[in-house]
Chains A and B, each alone.
Chain A
Amino acid sequence: MKKDPEDRKPLSRSPYCGDPGALVSYLYNDGSPDELASIAAHVQTCDSCTSELAALGDTREVLSGWSPPPTELGLTLSSSDALPVAAATIPVPSLTAAVAEVPWWRQSTPVWMQAVAASMVFAAGMAIGTGRGAAPVASNSVAEAGQPAATPPKAESVSRRELADLEQRLRTELARPAPAPVQTASRADDEALMKRIHSLLTESEERQRSELALRTAQVLRDAEIQRKVDMATLQQNIGQIQGTTGAELKQQRELYNMLMNRAGLIAK
């Protein structure tokens, strides 16, 4: 943007000349009145800055043609999404908000699941304990290479039976429905959850319905525009064909005339 001193008019010597900040301020008319007036005075006398500003203005003109594709937004929040905390009230967070904000490892677990987990830990502990009981026998037998590890058959059979019992108990507990007290305790939560699910389903249905309507409208618009484009193309093609046919007809007529003239001359 800066030009050699001899290219510039004498009055254009200004601290603003070639200063991007000043040019941008002037371009967007964003600055103090005094600053803008000083820059304007300089621009009036500086060809370089004037042309630079014109080019930037053209660029802005082109940029103004960029618009995002229109879309149906319709964003709304419901009280279940999250509750703002009012200073005077104690918030009662909705289920989804609470679940969303509490990490999974801190979310509450039903009592029956806790019981099953405890049983499984107990079973695992029993199994490890039994294994440890047999381990010294096995390690002692390492010295006697080639001989199989001597494990007391009684201990092995006991542990298997215990494990089988435990497995049976676990299966029974898992098959059994959740205990009544737990149900009563979580009934309120369940109802809230059901309500939430119901509202989510309703919202989803409404959203799908509106999206379907939107898509249908888009398809119709699409088809209409395509029809217009096709019609325009068709008319253009017909015009070309007509032009071509006319030209060929003219050529044939000229050829015919020429032949007739020559035939006439020969006849003469």
Chain B
Amino acid sequence: MTWTDEELVARSRTGDMDSFNQLILRWERPIYALAYRVIGQEEDARDVAQETFLRAFRALPGFKGQAKFSSWIYRIALNLCRDWIRRKRRTPVSPLPDDVDISELAAEQGPSESVEDLVARRELSAVVEEAMTLLPEEQRTAVILKEYHGMTFQEIADLQGCPLSTVKTRLYQGLSVLRKHLKDRIPSPMEQAVRVREH
């Protein structure tokens, strides 16, 4: 039987660890992906994800279900990312293409992807990562939440604590900067993306 988030939260609040671990299993990957894209360090993103769930677990008694569990946990993760960025005070995303492990990308794509496609995807990821570093934190977060987590403008506005119109502006400005940078870096981004996606 598949429990909803709310049901699992209710069970966790009574001390049921298995229920909370189910929530972790359900949300660990999105939270890790969010943390990685925001802060750009694999190990630190993993730590942020772990800390997010630990804090959520400890704060469960105070969580009255006024928001969705996913929104709540995203908020915790974003706060931790923000703390991390403040603490580190360094470029949030690692720009070096060589840091991307080809074997990991191979594992992600499965054995069917050729080495050439793998290299192309690796280069594309590196270019996007680098472009993301150009965006201010708010714009980058808005783009990430919209592009990779499919949140609505309203959800992003709630998470970022700003008006809906601000979210739209951040997205437009962010996409414009990315567009310009990617255009400079990749002569034909569409071709590359399509080529990679075809496989």
Contact = CB atoms under 8 A, between A and B. Distances in A.
17 contacts: A20-B168, A56-B179, A58-B190, A62-B127, A63-B147, A63-B178, A64-B197, A65-B124, A65-B128, A66-B124, A67-B108, A68-B45, A83-B15, A84-B12, A84-B15, A84-B57, A218-B107
A62 B189 CA distance: 6
B36 interface: yes
Contacts of B49: 73, 75
Nearest to A218: B103
The contact size tier of chain A is 35 or more
The contact size tier of chain B is 35 or more
A78 B17 CA distance: 7
B103 A221 contact: yes
A221 B103 CA distance: 6
A65 to B, nearest CB: 4
B108 A70 contact: yes
A225 B103 contact: yes
Contacts of B78: none
B57 A71 contact: no
B89 interface: no
Contacts, number: 154
Given A73-B28, A77-B20, A84-B15, 12 more contacts: A20-B169, A21-B165, A56-B175, A62-B192, A65-B193, A73-B32, A73-B49, A75-B49, A76-B24, A77-B21, A222-B102, A225-B115
A89 interface: yes
Interface of B: 12-15, 17, 20-21, 24, 28-29, 32-33, 36-37, 42, 45-46, 49-50, 53-54, 57-58, 60-61, 100-108, 115, 118, 121, 124-125, 127-129, 132, 143, 146-147, 152-153, 165, 168-169, 171-173, 175-176, 178-179, 182, 186, 189-190, 192-194, 196-197
A85 B14 CA distance: 7
A213 interface: no
Nearest to A57: B190
B172 A62 contact: no
Contact of A21 (B61, B105, B168): B168
